[in-house]
Amino acid sequence: MLDKIQWLGRTAINVIAGLGRAAFVLGSAISHIPNVRKGLPLFIQQVYSVGVLSLIIIMVSGTFIGMVLALQGYTVLVDYGAEGSLGPMVALSLLRELGPVVTALLFAGRAGSALTAEIGLMKATEQLSSLEMMAVDPLRRVIAPRFWAGFFSMPILAAIFSMLGIIGAHLVGVEWLGVDQGTFWSVMQSDVDMLDIIKGGIKSLVFAFVVTWIAVYKGYNCIPTSEGISRATTSSVVQASLLVLGLDFILTALMFT
């Protein structure tokens, strides 16, 4: 009994200490005015490796998910003679939910894991230590550009995901299953609010913040051995994915009810 209470207490302390460390890492990384001359090239380089290199997987997934949505939606709607509503159904599912959430999950797997492993390996090979000894703060030099790049890229990736999803749905719904082209677009236009797009955007911003934060913190805080890096990478993806799903529920409850 006493053991369990002790364990509970220690776990609670560890969790809180971890949160504190994570907040400190992020805080010191981004709480300064970036130096444009030095910072911008680093940021752009990271946007390339974190964002641009994730484009393929996001585009392919978006298209396929849109196509599947159209197929599934059509078979249900056609029974009620409501296949004209296929457009808004697909667009709303993508903009409100699937765009932000699936992009965040794919991003955590594709880019988040790479960030964690890269930073962890820099730590294990003493590159972070040697930066410190050269009077260059690794939090600013290594962590900050990676964080900003992830935070900036992911919402754009989510928008591209939704856009291609709608094109995929058009391909299946209109070109293949014969839904009327004019109805598809006009009903979509009248049923989808600007507010839906904004709320979806807010979701992506929150997810981008969380996924990138976890990725850089896990790498910076890892135990600098091969086993430590592999564990940090796994837990970066697992924790980011679970947090995205949990936060999605909360945000949906707050914004869409």
Partner 1 sequence: MSENLVEIKNLTFNREERCIYNGISLSIPKGKVTAIMGPSGIGKTTLLRLMGGQLKPQSGEILFAGHNIPELSRNALYEVRKRMSMLFQSGALFTDMSVYENVAFPIREHSKLPENIIEKMVMMKLEVVGLRGAMHLKPSELSGGMARRAALARAIALDPELIMYDEPFAGQDPISMGVIVRLIRDLNDALGLTSVVVSHDVPEVMSIADYIYIVAEQKIIGQGTPDEIVKQDSELVQQFIKGEHDGPVPFHFPAKDYQAELLGGKS
By beta-carbon proximity to partner 1, the closer residue of 67 and 142 is 142
For residue 225, state whether it binds partner 1 (rule: CB under 8 A).
Answer: no
For residue 226, state whether it binds partner 1 (rule: CB under 8 A).
Answer: no
Distance of alpha carbon 62 from its chain centroid, rounded? 14
CA distance 139 to 24: 10
Residue type, 126: E
Q: Which tokens sit at 224?
A: 């600098």
Binding partner 1 (rule: CB under 8 A), the pick from 2, 33, 135, 253 is 135
For residue 186, state whether it binds partner 1 (rule: CB under 8 A).
Answer: no
CB 57 within 8 A of CB 106: yes
CA distance 132 to 69: 51
For residue 194, state whether it binds partner 1 (rule: CB under 8 A).
Answer: no
Query: By CB under 8 A, what part of segment 15-44 binds partner 1?
Result: 38
Binding partner 1 (rule: CB under 8 A), the pick from 17, 82, 134, 238 is 134
Binding partner 1 (rule: CB under 8 A), the pick from 84, 92, 97, 127 is 127
CB of 121 to partner 1, least distance (A): 8
Nearest of 87, 74, 80, 95 to residue 176 by alpha carbon? 74
For residue 133, state whether it binds partner 1 (rule: CB under 8 A).
Answer: yes
Judged by CB under 8 A, how many residues of this single chain contact partner 1?
Answer: 13
Candidate segments 85-93, 132-140, 157-165, 189-197, binder of partner 1 by CB under 8 A = 132-140
Residue type, 185: W
CA distance 222 to 117: 9
Candidate segments 79-87, 131-139, 229-237, 240-248, binder of partner 1 by CB under 8 A = 131-139
CB of 130 to partner 1, least distance (A): 4
CB of 111 to partner 1, least distance (A): 16
CB of 128 to partner 1, least distance (A): 9
Which residue is it, tokens 């090979």?
125
Phi and psi for 178 in degrees, rounded to 5?
85, 25
CB of 125 to partner 1, least distance (A): 6
Helix, coil or strand: residue 180: coil
CB of 98 to partner 1, least distance (A): 35
CA distance 224 to 137: 18
CB 199 within 8 A of CB 97: no
For residue 130, state whether it binds partner 1 (rule: CB under 8 A).
Answer: yes
Which residue is it, tokens 């924790």?
239
Binding partner 1 (rule: CB under 8 A), the pick from 125, 189, 226, 234 is 125
Binding site for partner 1 (CB under 8 A): 38, 122, 125-127, 129-130, 132-137
